[in-house]
Structure 1
């Protein structure tokens, strides 16, 4: 049985709407946080989250 965890926002630390299993692999995934309204590109391997790039204010549209 796979271990399942919630993905936490790297900006504010709250739970997002995304859950991942231990065998999930994500690369260049746009993670959106409904609480702080930030979008961050992440990579996930074996439940380890790393930030690929944080978009700056000039490229992010609202």
Structure 2
């Protein structure tokens, strides 16, 4: 498999800004992707379109009151 060096960018962790193990090309689109960072050990839901990354903020679970 040929992989050119100019063929994309590393996806950066939105929490600690370090490289993850995911490499993106310009035509890559991700939706509701669980990104795990090996350095800060956190998992974040993201969307990626045209190399623009957006973090999906989900509301925390609330306890039910009786």
TM-score, length of structure 1 as denominator length: 0.80
- Unaligned runs of 5+ residues in structure 1 are 57-62
Q: CA RMSD in A?
A: 2.0
Moved over 2 A (4+): 53-56
Larger Rg: 2
Aligned length: 56
- Unaligned runs of 5+ residues in structure 2 are 61-66
Identify which of structures 1 and 2 has the higher relative contact order when contacts are C-alpha pairs closer than 8 Å and 6+ apart: 1
Q: Which structure features the higher share of strand residues? A: 1
TM-score, length of structure 2 as denominator length: 0.76
